Each structure stands twice: as C-alpha cells, then as structure tokens.
Amino acid sequence: MANAQDITAPLASAAKHAAAAVDRLSARIAPAPEAIPELWSALEADPKTSFHQSRAWVEAWTKTTGANLNVVTLEHNGVPFAVLPLEIEQRGGLSIARFAGTAHSNENTGLIDTKQLTKIGQVSAKQLATTLTKAGLSADIVLFDKMTPETAGQPPFSGLPRVFHQNPSFQLPLFTDFSEVLAQINGKRRRKKFRVSERRLEAMGGYRHITGDSDAEALLLLDAFLEQKPARLTAQGLPNVFADAGIRAFLRTLATNRNVDGQPALELHGIELAGGDHAGRIISVAGLTVKDRHVTCQFGSIDETVAADVSAGELLFYLMIERASASGHKVFDFGVGDQLYKRSWCPQRTELVDCYVPLNLKGRLAAPLISGMIRLKRTIKTSPALHRVAARLRGLTVEKARPAAETD
C-alpha cells in the first residue's frame, strides 16, 4: 500500500521512456467525440481504457449537464497517441480543465495508444503546457485526477507533478468458482451473513433480485436510488450530490443507453420485497458498469425505513458478485472512497494519483493551493480524529444550508 508521502515530482519510473526523445508534440481540439469516431473507438477498445473515458460516459455527461467539452488529441510527429476528453469548469475565477464527468467517476485513464508509447519520451509539464496552450485550450490549469500509478507513469502524464488522490479505490478479484472469490475474504463468515439475511427476508414474505432489463425497469430502480440516497446523505450530514437535475438526467441517459445486444451502459440491480406488508418495495439498489471483464460499482443505496436489520446492501453485493463471477468477469471494483464495507469485501487497495499541469501564470499560482488542498483532504480522511471533526462541521454546514435549498 502506498504511503502519503509527497510525490509532487514526476515519477522516477518514467525514466524507462527517456531513451526515446520527444521530437514534436502537437495537439488538436474538437468539441465532441463525433469529430474523431474511428480513433476514439480504437482507443476505447483497449482493455486498459477506463469506462469513464468511453463515448457513452462522455456524451451522456456533456449532453445532460451542458459541460464545456474539449476533446484534446495529442500527436507525436503527427501520429495521434492520446485522446483526452476534458471539461472546463470555472471555480473562484480559475478555469480548470478536468476529465469529463470526473466528479462522478471512479478511475480515469484517458484514451491512450499504448503501442505508440515506446516511441515517445517523457513529456515534460512545460512541453505539455506549451502544446495545449498553442492548440487553444482555454484553461488556467489541467488536473488529471483519479489515475492509477500505472496510468500516471506513462506519457503524457509521466513528466507531470502529482499528489496522491484524497481517496483510494478497492477491488475484489473474481474467479468462475465463487468459492475461490469468497476464500479471499473469509468465505465462511460471508456465507453465514448471507443466510441470515435470506432467513430474515423470507420471514417477511421473501425477496427478489431484480435487474433493469428494460428501460422501464431500469428507471424504476434508478428512481428508487434517487429517493434512497439523498435520505441517507442527509442522515450522515452530507450534501446531496445527486440534487442537480443534470446529474439525474445523466444517470437516466446511461441507464437507457443500450448497445446492439441490449446491454445498458449503466446496469441497475435491486432487492425487492416479494410479499408481506411491503410487497414490491425496493430496499436496496446498485448501479454497475462493465468494461472488458472489469465490473465497477458506480453507486449504491439502501432503504433503512423497511427491513433495516436484513443488511440489504450486503445481500445485494453478494448476489451481484456471484453473478459477475459466473459471467466470467475478472474484477469487481468497489470504486473510490475508503469505507468499512469496501474493506470487508476487498483484498486489494489502489492508491490513486492526481497529476496537474499549469498553463499560465494564474495556473502556476493556483497549483500549490490545489495540490495542498488535495493533501489536506487526504490527511483528514486518513486521520479518524480529524475525520470526525470534519464530519461534524460538515453536518452543521449542510443543516444551515438546507432551509435555503428547500426554498429554491
């Protein structure tokens, strides 16, 4: 597990690229993926490319949130080797370019032609800044966040200053034999918890594991999530990150965007009560994305007003992971954020990296503040005492802001 030491300097491992010099770096900027459909499709097909740089994700985000999208194509000696779908946000008078939709993503990679990388040397921050500025990227600083160390260690990111991201992500390796999966995480205890949940639900009239196989079913599950999650966030003193109509429309677009085989970009799962006084009530929901045998849990929620003692969220994870294993998937990724339930399921932890490149004087002045804030958040999150204090202060802030929000 990586430490929280300062990693502001470029990665030393990038030296392996130094033998090949960067001859000529150039960039082109387009307003949408439609400008480079063949290149995008070819790079997206690489198993190492994150779902969060897929056309489905980027186009849904842009169309529903109105994001200012800049599709940057980087070229080495005229040959494209990277596509970076960036949105430009205004924050306190600062223009920040980030991966499109990164506020709700779990891992970013960009779209990289890995076959070209052996021909490319380390791209320095100055070279990349000059190239992006010359191409017309209207930002003060670019922040490439939530990247694995492997991704951050290759061009065009390897020569950039960086810090550890404030949160790690958690993964569970999968095998076709589900008992092998459970053996990694105390299978006997996990099976016992599953049986206890099932018995309690059977006493209430039973349950069904339902999926969004049709658009109507998917939207029913998504609506349940959008009702359950805000209630949970409020109880925890957290702001509702799904309150914006554009974010909700983004999720609905993903849930109903299906490929030629009928598979949605966002796969919805839920636990529905089958009988009793609350028959038909959905008590747990999760949204998954799947790319190249890599399953990522994008979100989850539970309804604690009904059957609070059945551990509906744990039950749903058990069933989804069992199904993913049987389908031949290789990884179940619980995504970004250090939470106890993720630790209990996952033997693997990935420390993510944020790289940044200032494009002008304003960006250079802001860079230490941005990196310092990321370090501060990480320090708070890794210190139980500081985290408790921050949670109390955050709860007070949310409580004070709520009456104003309700009048909007």
Give the DSSP H or E segment for 133. Answer: helix 125-135
- Average pLDDT over the chain, rounded to whole? 91
Q: What is the mean pLDDT of residues 47-66?
A: 98
User: Looking at per-residue confidence, does 407 or 222 come out higher?
Assistant: 222
Q: What is the pLDDT of residues 229-255, one digit of tens each?
A: 999 999 888 899 999 999 999 999 999
Per DSSP, 154 falls in state S
**Helix/strand number for the chain, H first, E second:** 12, 15
Tokens at residue 304, please? 């604690």
**What backbone torsions phi and psi does residue 304 show, to the nearest 5 degrees?**
-85, 0
Using CA atoms, how far apart are residues 131 and 120, in angstroms rounded to an integer? 15
Give the position of tokens 């290759």. 154
Q: Where are the alpha helices (DSSP H) in 159-273?
A: 178-183, 187-203, 215-235, 245-256
Using CA atoms, how far apart are residues 211 and 159, in angstroms rounded to an integer? 44
Q: What is the mean pLDDT of residues 31-42?
A: 97
**Residue 237, pLDDT score:** 87
**What backbone torsions phi and psi does residue 124 show, to the nearest 5 degrees?**
-75, 160
Using CA atoms, how far apart are residues 89 and 120, in angstroms rounded to an integer? 30
Give the DSSP H or E segment for 347. Answer: none
Give the position of tokens 């029913």. 220
Using CA atoms, how far apart are residues 348 and 331, in angstroms rounded to an integer? 10
Per DSSP, 300 falls in state E
Model confidence at 393: pLDDT above 60: no
**Residue 337, pLDDT score:** 95
Tokens at residue 245, please? 């109509």
| DSSP annotation string for 239-268 | --TT-SHHHHHHHHHHHH-B-TTS-BSSEE
- HSE-CB at 132 with a 13 A cutoff on CA atoms is 29
Using CA atoms, how far apart are residues 239 and 234, in angstroms rounded to an integer? 7
**Residue 395, pLDDT score:** 55
**Residue 64, pLDDT score:** 98
According to DSSP, the β-strands at 294-302 and 348-350 are unpaired
Domains defined for the chain, CATH in brackets: 12-166+354-406 (3.40.630.30), 170-349 (3.40.630.30)
Identify the band that residue 7 occupies on the pLDDT scale cut at 50, 70 and 90.
low
* Chain centroid, CA 372 distance in Å: 22
Using CA atoms, how far apart are residues 239 and 125, in angstroms rounded to an integer? 35
The identity of residue 394, as a single letter, is: R
Whether residue 320 contacts residue 113, with contact meaning beta carbons closer than 8 Å, is answered with: no
Q: What is the pLDDT of residues 268-307, one digit of tens each?
A: 999 999 999 999 999 999 999 999 999 999 999 999 899 8
Give the position of tokens 């990196």. 371
- C-alpha distances out from residue 224 to 214, 270, 281, 302, Å: 16, 9, 9, 9
Tokens at residue 80, please? 């494209």
- C-alpha distances out from residue 378 to 109, 154, 155, 374, Å: 21, 24, 26, 6
Give the position of tokens 């960036």. 86
pTM score, whole prediction: 0.89
Using CA atoms, how far apart are residues 366 and 394, in angstroms rounded to an integer? 25
Per DSSP, 11 falls in state P
**Residue 67, pLDDT score:** 98
Tokens at residue 64, please? 């529903």
Whether residue 360 contacts residue 126, with contact meaning beta carbons closer than 8 Å, is answered with: no
**Residue 380, pLDDT score:** 84
Model confidence at 390: pLDDT above 60: no
According to DSSP, the β-strands at 162-164 and 353-358 are antiparallel
Identify the band that residue 18 occupies on the pLDDT scale cut at 50, 70 and 90.
very low
Whether residue 84 contacts residue 74, with contact meaning beta carbons closer than 8 Å, is answered with: yes
Per DSSP, 366 falls in state H
User: Looking at per-residue confidence, does 392 or 378 come out higher?
Assistant: 378
Whether residue 371 contacts residue 163, with contact meaning beta carbons closer than 8 Å, is answered with: yes
Model confidence at 365: pLDDT above 80: yes
Tokens at residue 266, please? 């966002």
Model confidence at 407: pLDDT above 50: no
Residue 135: which residues within 8 A CB-CB, separation 6 or more? 26, 27, 28, 29, 72
**Residue 402, pLDDT score:** 46
Model confidence at 176: pLDDT above 50: yes
Q: What is the mean pLDDT of residues 165-169?
A: 97
Q: What is the pLDDT of residues 107-136, one digit of tens each?
A: 999 999 999 999 998 999 999 999 999 999
**Residue 57, pLDDT score:** 99
Tokens at residue 177, please? 């034999």
